[in-house]
Amino acid sequence: MKRLSLVAGVLVAVGIIAALASVAAGVLAQGGDGDSDDEGGDVTYTWAGDVNAPDFPGGLDWINVSEPLTLDALRGKIVMLDFWTYGCINCIHIIPDLKRLEAEYPNELVVVGVHSAKFDNEGETENIRRIVRRYEIEHPVLNDSDFVMWQEYGVRAWPTVMVIDPFGKIVGSLSGEPLYERVAPIIQTMVEEYGAAGVLDLSPLPNWQPEMASTDDTLLRFPGKVLADPDGNRLFISDSNHNRIVIAALDTYEVLDVIGTGEIGLADGDYATAQFFRPQGLALVENTLYVADTENHAIRAVDLDARTVETVAGTGEQGFNRDQSGPGPQMELNSPWDLVAHDGVLYIAMAGPHQLWAYDLASGEIGPYAGSGREALVDSKLREAGMNQPSGIDTDGSVLYFADPEASAIRTADLDPDGEVKTIVGTGLFDFGDQDGVGDEVLLQHPLGITLADDGFLYVADTYNNKIKRINPETRESVTYLGTGEEGFADGDKPLFYEPGGLDFAAGKLYVADTNNHAIRVVDMAAKTVSTVEFPNPERLGEIPSEGEAAESDLSDALSASGLVGENVVSLPPQTVGAGEGTIQINITMPEGYKLNDQAPFTAIWPEDAIAQVPDDSRDIRIVLPDLPLDVPVTFAEGQTDLSVDLTIYWCEAVNETLCFVERVQLVTPLTVTADGSEHVVALEHALVPPNLDDNTFQ
């Protein structure tokens, strides 16, 4: 869960929270009036709201409905808003809880996902659509990339659910996980009481139109990780959304075996009867394949000789232990995402508790190895360090290298138990982008995969940048190795990827789990060209897609992904300057008693402009607590243009920091550049105004 001090794009509406009674780890209102003449007569409800819920904003993109919803159309339903962002492991964890509630109350409850993106890539509607398909979400989802709903509802953390009663009033909110056991009794009581009063509308949800999972007929479906075994001439693939492991020949890609029925479940047995739930990481020890069975919260061992599957750690239940070790079958795990084995120990990137765990192959004991469980980018001794959803792991025999995606970081943990956790690249939870360079100047965006090649470099699946990066662990230099940054599907020397999630090096090649392309890509490192695995016997994987329905054609419409919506454009007075070197001065003012947020970066992004040419290294500025006014170098050429800059500003009430805001604004000024002008400074001024917390919305 991203807490207040870490959240970008936060409006903490103190009034609404103060009006609600606290329960468990969240906030829900008990015993609201619920008894006005037009809302249930003289009935008093245990769980009722007093504050009118703000309606869904217009002009935003929706998924799973044929047209936008309104709260007025949902009157008579119990409504649960789920504020989430798809790279957040805690948000993923509560999806099964939401599905369970929807199944138990199909006519009484409507869940609406409000996707307020943390990362730029997560704000694109087509990418959200892919995640909706991947996690088989059938309820309506709204793309709230500009945090409009987030601000109106005073949300403070991912995930947060907001409950609205059948009269359209806010009952309250719960943040974090677990969700079901905290909210289910409340929903049950509401169903009983509002149902008895005859105010529930049990008709089907209007305009409900779940996404058709058009990727169902692809040979692979959202493969998460891949493992090459050159000695055994085998390629192991986590076919994650087919809930199975595929084994292919490394030289011909002939399908040799399929492990698992494809049905979601936790069942041991032979290849034909075993079941998995979105498996991810793989590790091979002699002829035993270990599988991070992520959504079963388990480690599975596949005996490749006996052709059997056994659960060696995890109970199938999600656990929240961050300190204790114990026998594998008795320990509850929390989203194991990737694996690497070394010297009799299986090291686990345990995404859920923000830790690395270790499983002793001889004793069967499992427990935390590194990380305190605190979500933070903190280097320290192994068990004192802070991590951020580790999801990829490899080793050189002296240190563990791991991808720490929520901090967009690549880090190390010593194999010496007295060692430390250190950071190679990455600077914080909200420092992300696509910037090559050295050390702290490097920006990645939610990397999920990592492998060490025999050239000594780390190769990283820079997932949200749709790239493969190459990082020197000694010099901390990071460069783009392959990919343009655009999502897509193309082989050759100018390849395109789409959110690659895993990769492995073997014998001069990189094998890439190109997750959203439903494909395994192969990089010939000598030629630096990319090809795609094609199975010569695809019938072993089930039905073959009909012509024109293969994964590649399915990807073509991904290129139509939309960007941010609802841009706030502020027009400034025209200005005139002289040609030559100059300065653009950005000055942001705010009322007395407010300050910039010291936990999130002030961002200024400049488009291409032939008249006002901002240097490449100043085109994407991200600075926590910049000195204002901010001077940006520029070269002016004769002519006219509409000079513009996109700003993201995080700011807070200065004394108690009880209110924090985000403002995304585009400043535009008509600019004339003359040959003999004497002025060489363009001033871009913007005054921040706190949102008006209307009493009808917040009390």
For residue range 457-487, what is the model confidence (pLDDT) as tens digits? 999 999 999 999 999 999 999 999 999 999 9
Q: How far apart are CA 654 and CA 645, in angstroms?
A: 26
User: How far apart are the C-alpha atoms of 228 and 284, rounded to whole Å?
Assistant: 9
66: tokens are 């044929």
420-439: pLDDT as tens digits: 999 999 999 989 999 999 99
- Taking only the tens place, the pLDDT of each residue in 523-571 is 999 999 999 999 999 999 984 333 333 333 332 232 222 222 234 789 9
CA 182 to chain centre: 24
Closest CA to 108 of 208, 195, 184: 195
What six digits make up the tokens of 588?
Answer: 């942001």
Q: Is the pLDDT of residue 118 over 80?
A: yes
Residue 289's closest CA among 272, 276, 307?
A: 307
Average pLDDT, the chain: 87
Which tokens hold the place of 173? 């909110």
Specify whether the CB–CB gap between 187 and 171 falls below 8 A: no
8-state DSSP, 212: P
Are 52 and 696 spatial neighbours (Cβ–Cβ below 8 Å)? yes
Q: What is the mean pLDDT of residues 560-586?
A: 74
Distance CA 612, CA 598 (A): 30
CB 499 within 8 A of CB 463: yes
Of 262-276, 279-293, 365-379, 678-692, give the lowest mean pLDDT range.
678-692
Q: Kindly report the length of the chain.
A: 699
pLDDT at position 279 over 80 = yes
Angle between helices 180-196 and 95-104 in degrees, nearest 10: 20
Contact 169, 55 (CB under 8 A): no
Q: Where are the alpha helices (DSSP H) in 138-249?
A: 148-152, 180-196
Tens-digit pLDDT profile for residues 144-181: 999 999 999 999 889 999 999 999 999 999 999 989 99
Token pair recorded at residue 312: 């060696």
- 111 three-class SS: strand
Q: How far apart are CA 318 and CA 301, in angstroms?
A: 19
- Which of residues 35 and 660 earns the better pLDDT score? 660
| Alpha carbons within 13 A on the beta-carbon side of 7 | 30
Of the candidates 151, 32, 19, 178, the one whose C-alpha atom is nearest the C-alpha of residue 97 is 178
Rounded-to-integer distance, Cα 466 and Cα 484, Å: 7
**Structure-token match 């990592």, residue found:** 450
In the block, which residue shows the tokens 């270990």? 290
**pLDDT value at 215 more than 60:** no
pLDDT at 264 over 70: yes
- pLDDT at position 592 is 83
pLDDT tens figures, 281-335: 999 999 999 999 999 999 999 999 999 999 999 999 999 999 999 999 999 999 9
**CB-based contacts of 600, cutoff 8 Å, min separation 6:** 7, 8, 430, 624, 650, 662
Q: Of 476, 473, 441, whose CA–CA distance to 457 is shortest?
A: 473
Specify whether the CB–CB gap between 53 and 78 falls below 8 A: no
Residue 306, SS3 per DSSP = coil
Q: How far apart are CA 495 and CA 76, in angstroms?
A: 51
Kindly give, in sequence order, each residue whose CB lies less than 8 Å from that of residue 411, ignoring residues fewer than 6 positions away: 379, 387, 401, 402, 404, 421, 422, 423, 424, 426
- 475 vs 5, more confident: 475
Q: How many CB atoms lie within 10 A of CB 580?
A: 14
Angle at 326 between CA 325 and CA 332, to 5 degrees: 85
CB atoms within 10 A of CB 592: 5
DSSP string across 614-643? --GGGSEEEESS--SSEEEEEEE-SEEEEE
The DSSP result for 47-82, as a single string, is S---EEPPPPPTT--EESBSS---TGGGTTSEEEEE
CA–CA gap between residue 287 and residue 232 (Å, rounded):
9
Tokens of 75: 């009157």
Q: What is the pLDDT of residue 43?
A: 83
Sort 274 into a burial class: Cβ within 10 Å, 0-12 / 13-18 / 19+: buried
Structure confidence at residue 660 as a pLDDT band (50, 70, 90): low
Specify the 3-state DSSP secondary structure of 337. strand
Q: How much is the average pLDDT of 584-589? A: 95
Query: Strand pairing partners for 422?
Result: 412
Say how far apart CA 565 and CA 60 lie, in whole Å: 7
Q: Which of 56-65, 120-129, 431-440, 622-631 has the least mean pLDDT?
A: 622-631
Rounded Cα distance between 112 and 83, Å, is 9
Query: How many whole angstroms separate alpha carbon 495 and alpha carbon 482?
Result: 7
Q: Are 376 and 423 in contact (CB under 8 A)?
A: no
- Give yes or no for a contact between 27 and 172, defined as CB atoms under 8 angstroms apart: yes
pLDDT at 655: 59
Q: How many CA atoms lie within 13 A of 21 on its CB side?
A: 10
Kindly report the number of other CB atoms within 10 A of residue 626's CB atom. Answer: 16
Model confidence over 70-92: pLDDT tens digits? 999 999 999 999 999 999 999 99
Query: 655 is written with which tokens?
Result: 């004394």
Residue pair 508/526 in contact (Cβ under 8 Å)? The answer is yes
What pLDDT shows up at residue 597? 75
pLDDT at position 542: 81
On the CB side of 223, CA atoms within 13 Å amount to: 28
**DSSP collapsed to 3 states, 512-554:** EEEHHHCEEEEEECCCCEEEECCCCCHHHHCCCCCCCCCHHHH
